Amino acid sequence: MFKLPAQLTIAQVDNCKEKLLIEIDENDVISFDDSDVTSIDTVGVQLLLAAVTYIASQNKELNWSSSSSAIQESVKQLGLNEAILNQYLNA
């Protein structure tokens, strides 16, 4: 289970990305827990989209049903209509 940080903003993205890549590379099934995420910016959303795309390209499975209203609201505000990401959001 990969626990996303409470603040998924430009200041945390590099650190989160490094840990996330290790998680993806070491597992065939990846699970995200976003229950602590209270703040996310555009860079954080880009990281999530890139991670979901990378997981799919590696033919790995992602278990994630977003429970973070911050993520869902940010994606909605950005007007993202990426099916590969939206399938995990409850918005």
Residue spans per domain, the chain: 2-86
pLDDT tens-digit series, residues 76-91: 899 888 888 888 887 5
* The predicted structure's pLDDT at residue 80: 85
* 81 and 49 Cβ atoms separated by less than 8 Å: no
- Amino acid 14 reads D
Rounded (10°) angle between helices 10-26 and 42-57: 10
| DSSP bridge pairs for 51 | none
Using the 8-state DSSP alphabet, how is residue 40 labeled? E
Which of residues 85 and 14 earns the better pLDDT score? 14
CATH (one of 3.30.1490.20, 3.10.20.30, 3.30.750.24, 3.40.50.1000) for 2-86: 3.30.750.24
